[in-house]
Structure 1
Amino acid sequence: MDPARLPQPGSPDLVLGVIGCGVMGRGIAQIAVLAGASVRLVDAREGAATAARAELLTTFGKLVEKGKLTQEAADAAAGRLVPCASLGELAGAHIVVEAIIEELQAKKALFAELEGILGPDAILATNTSSLSVTSIAAGLTHPERVAGFHFFNPVPLMKIVEAIGGLLTPPAVVDYLLALGKQWGHTAVRAKDTPGFIVNHAGRGYGTEGMRLLAEGVATVPVLDNILRDTAGFRLGPCELFDLTGLDVSHPVMESIYHQYYEEPRFRPQGLTRQMLVAGTLGKKVGQGFYRYGADGKKEAIAEPQQATQMPQSVWISNERPELAEQVSTLAAAAGVQIESGVAPSDGALCIVTPLGEDCTTCCARERLDPRRTVAVEALFDAGKRRVVMTNPGTAPEYLAMACGLFGATGVPVSVIRDSAGLVSQRVVAHIVNIACEIAQQGIADPLDIDRAVTLGLGYPLGPLAWGDTLGAQTVLSILKNLEQLTGDARYRPSPWLQRRALLGLSLHHKEI
């Protein structure tokens, strides 16, 4: 096949077939037809294609009312949107995008049937989110015409699409899809045919590490979500996110990617989400998940436990990490508490350590501090909206109350967690950065495309590689090494991409010649 013989993206002669008229299929049809393509809709369910067209025309009408589309453009798009009764009516289409059930054999059977209908240069594109493009193409007479064209829901709003070539797909096919996605108004990025491609691969770190923190008893559901929203800047906490997407969607993807990577520890799911899936507590769609939801769909708020508070007479802050100690000193000074400057704390002083990938216990033991009087504080991430205090197993209640009084003195909420290597935000963000580094190491995508795809597809406050640069590659490396040493878990082993750039002082976006 030769994509050069196809109409150029944006040409009024381009004919697109969309198979599957659910939410994804309708979204793809919408952006394509509004960008000037002629779109033919097909669905195995009788009347579904006609109903999809009617829904799209209603959408066009709303866009006209809001001033986002002219009536002339809406009418022209409606004229290019044609429901079809059978696959045979796709003959003459230049590209077909399937958005059917996420099941390998169903997609293979569909493409095998389309081979006998479409012309020799037509592209067969799959919107699969987790299946191998190579596997979908295997067994076809012309597997080279198959590529991935992965959009995200809702398609008109999620301005990102991944173009994926299988092992036999020539680069020119992927190039055509990249140009087409761009012409349709999306950021189009190239990815290798690997489990999860870019976005679903990079997204494995957030939810799985959040669930690991719950499994270890480090934090409760609302505490975990509050910390990651308020200190790291995520739009939703991991539990809120799972409730929104539904565990019937999220958990199978976690398991699929974990098994497709032959039980790679970085992607290991936790048993909790499997239990919830079996129990049917899927999230917002059923009214119960990590949270409960009212009939109006609103989440029932769960307050964090109320902590006792009192002010300490004085505070001693470990200077093992001066840059972090300075952050804590600023917070303590704002509360008007005396800050000790001695090498060792005085009797009765509240002792504060600032771990980087370590737990409170390790820092306390190394500096020979009294565990009763020692807590750890998150100093690497933003403390403007929330302060995080971490106890060790020996922390006395009265000293925890002093820490809560000190850091809550200016009215900022304080979250208390149990001892954890890397606290919460450090270990979650370092894990995310490390997975993105490994995506770059494996050549799955260009480093800049990794960040573009993740920020648009997942809504993270920064692309993971840019986030690593902001924190400092050496800092992220230190967190991961300490996590690996303290837990003995290969899950935290640093990617070579990260290690080499940290040691050489290079950006995580830096590519080798």
Structure 2
Amino acid sequence: MNKNIVVIGAGTMGNGIAHTFAQTGFKVNLVDVSQEALDKGLATITKNLDRIISKGNLTEEQKSETLNNISTFTNLADCASNADLIVEAATENLDLKLKIFKQMDELAPANCILATNTSSISITKIASVTNRADKVIGMHFMNPVPIMKLVEIIKGYSTSKETFDTIYEMSKTLGKVPTEVNDYPGFVANRILMPMINEAIETLYNGVAGVEEIDTVMKLGMAHPMGPLQLADFIGLDVCLAILNVMYDGFKNPKYAPNPLLVNMVTAGKLGVKSGEGFYDYSESRKAENVSKMFLK
């Protein structure tokens, strides 16, 4: 497979995916709806490259090469014609993803693989709006993408062995550890993680313990690098809610029903790190940075 990659979405996951491909030598076209979003994404990539340099794991020359491998676009039609792989990393919203995949299918060459970074939505459902279901696959990267090794590789009902093998090997080229997963709501990571986060919120909601106390028990008692409530803030409470809703709708099992406190916090716009407030207060930029640094030691 050639090395022409398109990444749709310059947010937290999209810029991390673009960074990872570019640093490995792939040519990346990064697409978002506004130049402002693209500029913010590039600024994040630059900052993260500087962090890697400060730890002695990258040279200034390699940083320049990585940034030179990234081009930005506000229109997918301007950069999809020679793509070998398009990775969609938009918001976790089914209707939006279906709309994007229809567009990807229309604009990309016939041999192009279409991947989604969805953390819970059915690959089979996403593939159903394309004319190349055999070339649609899930690549669920973990946040922060340049640091975290895992990639869940999710096969839809019609994903071909050739497509799976290509993406599996490409993930290893990126320095990741690909793990084969079948297409069920939440896949593996979030099917296990989100009920734990939801139960932590339930524990808080029921007054069993406070936020810091719950997180301390899980960090010191279970050796988790982050407590579940702090992790929920880091992921985004809106994303947690969306994933739980997908699993609840998919399994019709009350154990996946989002806790009312989570629903109310999202409704009130308390989304965690990205909004400045969630279970913790991130109103000072230093506090928000300290959360991400937990992964960057």
Alignment TM-score > 0.5, same fold:
yes
Alignment partner of 2:117 out of 122, 127, 130 = 127
Identity between Structure 1 and Structure 2 (%):
33
Instruction: Name 1:452's counterpart in structure 2.
Output: none
Change (3 A) 1:87 1:251: closer
Structure 1 residues 86 and 226: CA distance shift in structure 2, 3 A:
closer
For structure 2, list consecutive stretches of 5 or more residues without a partner in the other structure. Answer: 289-294
Q: CA deviation at 1:82?
A: 2.4
Are the counterparts in 2 of residues 287 and 297 from structure 1 also a CA contact under 8 Å? no
Q: Distance in 2 between matches of 1:55 and 1:296?
A: 14
- In the superposition, the TM-score normalised over structure 1's length comes to 0.51
Partners of 2:115 and 2:143 in 1: CA distance: 17
Q: Is the 8 A contact 1:164 1:193 kept in 2?
A: yes
Aligned pairs for 1:176-191 (under 5 A) are: 176-191=166-181
**CA distance in structure 1 between the partners assigned to 2:52 and 2:29 by the alignment:** 21
> Which residue is equivalent to 1:479?
none
Report the AA paired with residue 69 of structure 1: L
How far 1:18 sits from its partner (Å)? 1.2
- Partners in 1 of 2:84 and 2:106 — Cα distance? 14
Corresponding residue of 1:16: 5
Name the amino acid aligned to 2:222: A
Q: Following the alignment from structure 1 to structure 2, what is the Cα–Cα distance between the partners of residues 55 and 228?
A: 30
Query: Aligned pair in 2 of structure 1 residues 218, 47: CA closer, same or farther (>3 Å)?
Result: closer
Residue aligned with 1:229, SS = helix
How far residue 28 of structure 1 moved from its aligned partner, in angstroms, is 0.8
Q: Could you report, residue by residue, the CA deviation over 1:283-340 in whole angstroms, capped at 9, with x for unpaired residues?
A: 45555544556646659xxxxxxxxxxxxxxxxxxxxxxxxxxxxxxxxxxxxxxxxx
What SS does the corresponding residue of 1:194 show, helix, strand or coil? coil
Alpha-carbon distance in 2 for matches of 1:287, 1:114:
34
Corresponding residue SS for 1:130: coil
* Cα distance change, pair 294–163 in 1 and its aligned pair in 2 (3 A): closer
Match of 1:230 among 207, 210, 220: 220
**CA offset at residue 122 of structure 1?**
0.9
The within-5 A match list for 1:95-494 is 95-262=85-252, 264-283=253-272, 288-292=277-281, 295=284, 298=287
Secondary structure at 2:151 match in 1:
strand
d(CA) in 2 for partners of 1:79, 1:295 = 33
1:80 pairs, out of 69, 74, 85, with: 69
Task: Tell me the number of residue pairs that the alignment of Structure 1 and Structure 2 aligns.
Answer: 288
Name the SS of the counterpart of 1:16 in structure 2. strand
Larger radius of gyration: 1
- Give SS of 2:107's match: coil
After superposition, the Cα gap between the structure-2 partners of 1:207 and 1:113, relative to the gap in structure 1 and judged at 3 Å, is: closer
SS at match of 1:203: helix
Assess, with a 3 A threshold, how the Cα gap between structure 1 residues 153 and 40 changes in structure 2: closer, same or farther.
same
Match 2:82 to one of 92, 98, 111: 92
Which residue in 2 is equivalent to 1:26?
A: 15
Secondary structure (helix, strand or coil) at the match of 1:154 reads: coil
Alpha-carbon offset, residue 16 of structure 1: 0.9
For 1:250, give the aligned amino acid.
C
Change (3 A) 1:208 1:101: closer
Q: C-alpha root-mean-square deviation of aligned residues, in Å?
A: 2.9
Unaligned residue ranges in structure 1 (runs of 5+): 1-6, 8-12, 300-458, 460-513
Q: Give the counterpart letter for 1:25 in structure 2.
A: G
| Alpha-carbon separation, structure 1, partners of 2:237 and 2:172 | 32
TM-score using structure 2 length: 0.83
Q: 1:211 to 1:172 in 2, by over 3 A?
A: same
